[in-house]
Amino acid sequence: MPDMSVYILTLRCMNRPGIVAAISSTLFGAGCDITEAQQFDAWESRSFFMRVVFRMPVHAAAETTLRDAVATMAREFEMHWTLRARAQPTRTVLMVSRFDHCLVDLLYRWRIGELSIDPVAIIANHPRETYADIDFGDIAFHYLPVTAATRPVQEARIWDIVSGTGAELVVLARYMQVLSDSLVSRLAGRCINIHHSFLPGFKGARPYHQAFARGVKLIGATAHFVTGDLDEGPIIEQDVERISHADSPDDLVRKGRDIERRVLARAVRYFTECRIIPDGRKTIVFSA
Amino acid sequence: MPDMSVYILTLRCMNRPGIVAAISSTLFGAGCDITEAQQFDAWESRSFFMRVVFRMPVHAAAETTLRDAVATMAREFEMHWTLRARAQPTRTVLMVSRFDHCLVDLLYRWRIGELSIDPVAIIANHPRETYADIDFGDIAFHYLPVTAATRPVQEARIWDIVSGTGAELVVLARYMQVLSDSLVSRLAGRCINIHHSFLPGFKGARPYHQAFARGVKLIGATAHFVTGDLDEGPIIEQDVERISHADSPDDLVRKGRDIERRVLARAVRYFTECRIIPDGRKTIVFSA
Amino acid sequence: MPDMSVYILTLRCMNRPGIVAAISSTLFGAGCDITEAQQFDAWESRSFFMRVVFRMPVHAAAETTLRDAVATMAREFEMHWTLRARAQPTRTVLMVSRFDHCLVDLLYRWRIGELSIDPVAIIANHPRETYADIDFGDIAFHYLPVTAATRPVQEARIWDIVSGTGAELVVLARYMQVLSDSLVSRLAGRCINIHHSFLPGFKGARPYHQAFARGVKLIGATAHFVTGDLDEGPIIEQDVERISHADSPDDLVRKGRDIERRVLARAVRYFTECRIIPDGRKTIVFSA
Amino acid sequence: MPDMSVYILTLRCMNRPGIVAAISSTLFGAGCDITEAQQFDAWESRSFFMRVVFRMPVHAAAETTLRDAVATMAREFEMHWTLRARAQPTRTVLMVSRFDHCLVDLLYRWRIGELSIDPVAIIANHPRETYADIDFGDIAFHYLPVTAATRPVQEARIWDIVSGTGAELVVLARYMQVLSDSLVSRLAGRCINIHHSFLPGFKGARPYHQAFARGVKLIGATAHFVTGDLDEGPIIEQDVERISHADSPDDLVRKGRDIERRVLARAVRYFTECRIIPDGRKTIVFSA
């Protein structure tokens, strides 16, 4: 029996009969063995979404041959598609401001092999000593402070790092600076933010203090793709925790840290496992 | 040993040293035995809140004597207070529109003795046949249809029923008509609504369709006191359930029904057990 | 465009390459349009499971033709399979003892069209007056009291009702009598029980009292298929709720009712929507 | 106005009238101002439990005077009691085996000031290089490998460290060795373990594999006090997460890590804030 390598195919197209038959025939014809498949038929937009995990025999031209076959089929159905070897980690830039709980958590999950990222750079708008307790190992650290006046220059540096490292994903791990529309559009579909509230509940600054003032009984966090419309990007994952009148704003911040780090870690994992397919203002997340 | 009767005392005042000592001395002096006590010190408003459950020997003048003692103490601390025999059910008016899942649920919980209400009337803006499958037993049913033009007259009828029955609580169990400011102010602090979204997320009409359009990953419901500022009254209880891209608006409505009925039932139970103390825009809920 | 009818196909077989291709080709060849598909590859048993929802043009011989095509394919892969029109409600017998919260809940969900069952009979070991508040409408009610001595006779009556009504599903909605191995085996794979604890935590009688004695911080309920090994049948659905030291056994029973009814309702819905495929001691549940 | 210092008093005694009055009078008499109080009346054992947080003016003999006053009152009611300055961190020994996610998490929470512990030692049965990525700062690290033969000697070393450092708390942060009855009894009431299952569901070794084999739909973790009866000590905190048939044992282990670290962190926080009062086989946890 030949060695097998695992791939993940995602695709999106207008729905019409025969898509699944075409995909499964194409993969079967290439000697592949499907082990997981998830699909979704969005009746409102008449769109079809699919994620397929399969094993393929390892030989010299295997991936090229497969890509050609998928491309041929994709043309017929006008599909948007991605194909990725599951073993290949996602090249990731991590951005952070003063609070480092999400950063520390992502790095820990990466170190123990839970998260299949390759952290190619850390960008912070605070100096290295802010994170004195964290061992960044070999990961390049960039201190890029920013003011209104220096934003264009700072963002040019960010873009140099992202493009220079070939980053496939940028994670705003409690990076508290607003990105310009121009940078956001260049990072479209590959920049994930963690908003420290349960959107669309409390947009803008200091959401835990807003939640306290309003007297809600649950607080939450939201991981979403970054778009020009702040706090309105497509939502990837959310979670909540129960609070009461007895929780002070500081308690909310403390409980919030736990929610933020687990929501962001899930969103990053979904991204690295090709579980997220954008759908306009929304996302399809094939979460398990 | 004498027969004992259980009472619940709630109070609110400005915080200062000696309150708890005064309360416990007063109750101890009246022969009472405290079995539960919860308190909260709201640092922001410098207010103090307390709920005390206690047993009192049953004899002719016991409650009167106790009320006098509490009143004397309350004057000293300028307390707002309530005292209620736990065994006494809360006289309740239930209001409903077309969807009856909350109404049916509350009536079931009442029938099996879970909810200590005395349902003195049901008011609906749909006719009796809309609820053909529900056995209302001896509860008076009032069909009060309403249009913009007839609202004043209809609300006068509502008020007659509320005041005529001596109702202590009005529950809007998916009653989908907006009440006038005038009626709302007369029901202040004793009218509970279930809003079918996780406030402040999706205010206004058709919140599940709003949630679907926005692509959130959790939906919820909110029980709150009704105030003139619609969807902004003090929140009593909230809960959520996980959804995904695969849930249609109809699925959200179905999942929502489960959340709505359990959130509303909890809020009503908290009210009947004197667990809620209003605090401006917020509530103190001594929930367990 | 022809009228379309929705069908659900489920299947199980040993895994090998080409299954998905064969299924999608078969359905495509029959003019069907797949709208949902879920699959699972159980590496431990090398089994493959799939659920496919599809639209089929309505014409005279359509279902027969399709069944023949599926049967031919199924023989090749040695599949176990089921095919069902989604619009067809599941003929269901509901069994109950003294506590009726699950029964009332299932009937309510059926009445508002949430649950696609056809309740063909209610069997109780308590007399009709125990459920005086419930309107059973046209559903046949059978009072079948039971003692150790009369069990064989009573179970023969149960079996007569099940087979006489052509019931596809038997729901033990807090029916507190143990069924004999003989009856259990005749109901294999189509009898769902709600156990009022989070299995395998507290098996046997009075689980909430066991939970209280042990001091756990969460209680739960479990819906499972009934097997000869009591409390050990394949689990379909579970849920929990938080409790504290302040909850009495009565409080646990109250909170438990809410969990039981929502867990059982979900399990019944999964069954009627062909979302459950048995896998030895476990179940595959394509829940969303 | 004098400087104020915050103290926490916990107590337990047989219930009888007048306890709360005595406590509040005693504290009021000592110039203290109660800011939080929680109490519980355990009807089954007729025991009374209370936790009181209060501010006390800072002056030379304040704490001594207060201790004398509390002791006098405590004798009258035969109370077990503790009194602690809230600002004083809990001297804590952390024990760990190969998996370090709980250890890393506790240290992070300590570093950012979330957890009021003073980590006086780390004890591991694996060598320092197992934790090469963790910066232990100034915390003493002890590598104490153990076999059946060396257990008595190893445990003598553990005890030396615990008593030598004056540790008030020992946390088994995924320390996978069974402690002897002798050591356990010396650590009674101050040794917390995290069991990686939802007790009493899956006791013993490899609980996630047990959960997988049984096909449960939720997995959990349990923090409990260690007693001689393994996996049976009083439970402090539990939590769960949803799983499905699609989760492999490795997925359960991954999801389990998240539950374990948050359950253990909560239990440790409750301990440091004097929120836990033992009650035989159970615990009273005044959690908020």
Interface membership of C208 toward D (CB under 8 Å): no
Q: Which helix (H) or strand (E) holds A186?
A: helix A181-186
Residue B163 pLDDT level (bands cut at 50, 70, 90): very high
Encode pLDDT of A3-40 as tens digits. 889 999 999 999 988 898 899 899 988 889 888 999 99
Catalytic residue among A118, A231, A251, A258: A231
**Confidence band (pLDDT; 50, 70, 90) for C2?**
low
Query: In this predicted structure, what is the pLDDT of residue C59?
Result: 82
In sequence order, what DSSP letters do the residues of B152-203 get, joined into one string? Answer: HHHHHHHHHHHHHHT-SEEEESS--SPPPHHHHHHTTTSEEEEESS-TTSS-
Can you tell me whether residue C129 is helix, strand or coil?
A: helix
Chain D CA closest to residue A112: D101
Contact C257 B104 (CB under 8 A): no
Cross-chain residue pair D37–B36, CB shorter than 8 Å: no
- At the topology level, CATH places domain D4-85 in Alpha-Beta Plaits (3.30.70)
Write out pLDDT tens, residues C141-150: 999 999 999 9
User: In D, which residues are within 8 Å of C283 by CB distance?
Assistant: 215, 245
Q: Is D288 on the interface with B (CB under 8 A)?
A: no
D3 is catalytic: no
Q: Using CB atoms, which residue from A40, A198, A202 is nearest to B246?
A: A40
State residue B1's pLDDT score.
54
Angstroms from D21 CA to nearest CA on chain B: 5
pLDDT score for A58: 85
Of residues D111, D258, D288, nearest to A262 (C-beta):
D258
Choose among C101, C135, C262: nearest Cβ to B135: C135
- Residue B34: partners with Cβ closer than 8 Å, 6 or more residues away: B24, B27, B52, B53, B54, D20, D39
Closest in C216, C238, C248 to D217, CB measured:
C238
Angle between helix B101-111 and helix B249-272 axes, rounded to 10 deg: 40
List the single residue in D with minimal CA-CA distance to B50: D37
Separate counts of helices (H) and strands (E) for chain C: 7, 13
Report how far residue D168's alpha carbon sits from residue D21's, in angstroms, rounded to the nearest whole number: 31
pLDDT digits (tens, 9 = 90+) for D229-252: 878 899 999 999 999 999 999 999
Q: What is the pTM assigned to this prediction?
A: 0.96
Give CA–CA dist D178/D197, Å, rounded: 16
A147 DSSP assignment:
-
Mean pLDDT of C114-119: 98
Q: Is C277 exposed, middle or buried (0-12, 13-18, 19+ CB in 10 A)?
A: buried
Q: Is the model's pLDDT at B288 over the cut of 80?
A: no
* A41·C28 Cβ contact <8 A: no
* D38/B21 Cβ within 8 A: no
Question: Is B75's Cβ below 8 Å from some Cβ in A?
Answer: no
Residues of C in contact with B138 (CB under 8 A): none
Contact C104 B101 (CB under 8 A): no
Pairwise CA distance, residues B29 & B65, whole Å = 11
SS3 A205: coil
Same fold, C4-85 and C90-285: no
Angle of CA points C275, C281, C286, to nearest 5°:
15
Whole-angstrom distance, CA of residue C287 vs CA of residue C276: 8
> Do D214 and C200 make contact, defined as CB atoms within 8 angstroms?
yes
| Cβ neighbours of residue B163 closer than 8 Å, sequence gap 6 or more | none
CA D157 to chain centre: 22
* Nearest-neighbour CA in chain A from B247: distance (Å): 10
β B282-285/B235-242 pair status: unpaired
Average pLDDT over residues A43-59: 90
CA separation for the pair B211, C136 (Å, rounded): 36
**Contact state of A21 with C17 under an 8 Å Cβ cutoff:** no
d(CA D247, CA D254): 10
CA dist B237 and A215 (Å) reads: 10
Best of B108, B139, B174 to mutate (most C CBs within 10 Å, chain C): B108
Q: What is the pLDDT of residues A90-118, one digit of tens each?
A: 999 999 999 999 999 999 999 999 999 99
D288 part of contact set with chain A, CB < 8 Å: yes
Question: pLDDT tens, C122-142?
Answer: 999 999 999 999 999 999 999
Homologous superfamily of D90-285 in CATH? Answer: Formyl transferase, N-terminal domain (3.40.50.170)
Contacts of D114 in chain A (CB under 8 A): 254, 257
Residue B132, chain C, CB below 8 Å: the answer is: no
Region D69-79: what's the mean pLDDT? Answer: 96
Could you report the per-residue pLDDT of A125-146, keeping only the tens digit for each?
A: 999 999 999 999 999 999 999 9
- Of C118, C138, C231, C279, the active-site residue reads C231
pLDDT for res A1: 54
What is the percentage of chain A residues whose pLDDT exceeds 90? 82
Q: How far apart are CA B240 and CA D85, in angstroms?
A: 38
pLDDT, tens only, D249-283: 999 999 999 999 999 999 999 999 999 999 999 99
Across the interface, do A101 and D112 touch by the CB < 8 Å criterion?
yes
Q: Is D18 on the interface with B (CB under 8 A)?
A: yes
Task: Judge whether residue A2 has pLDDT over 70.
Answer: no
Does C40 contact chain D (CB < 8 Å)?
Answer: yes
Q: Which of residues 237-276 of C touch A (CB under 8 A)?
A: none
Q: How far is CA C255 from CA B253, C192, C215, D41, in A?
A: 23, 21, 15, 20
Which positions in chain A touch D237 (Cβ < 8 Å)?
A: none
Whole-number percent of chain C with pLDDT over 70 = 99
Q: Nearest chain D Cα to B38, which residue?
A: D38
- Residue % of chain B over a pLDDT of 90: 82
CB contact under 8 A, A215 and B235: yes
What is the distance in angstroms between the Cα of A203 and the nearest Cα belonging to chain B? 10
The residue extents of the domains of chain B are: 4-85, 90-285
Tell me which of C36, C51, C102, C104 to substitute to probe the interface with B (most B C-beta atoms closer than 10 Å).
Answer: C104
Partners of residue D117 on adjacent β-strands: D90
Q: Is the pLDDT of residue D129 over 60?
A: yes
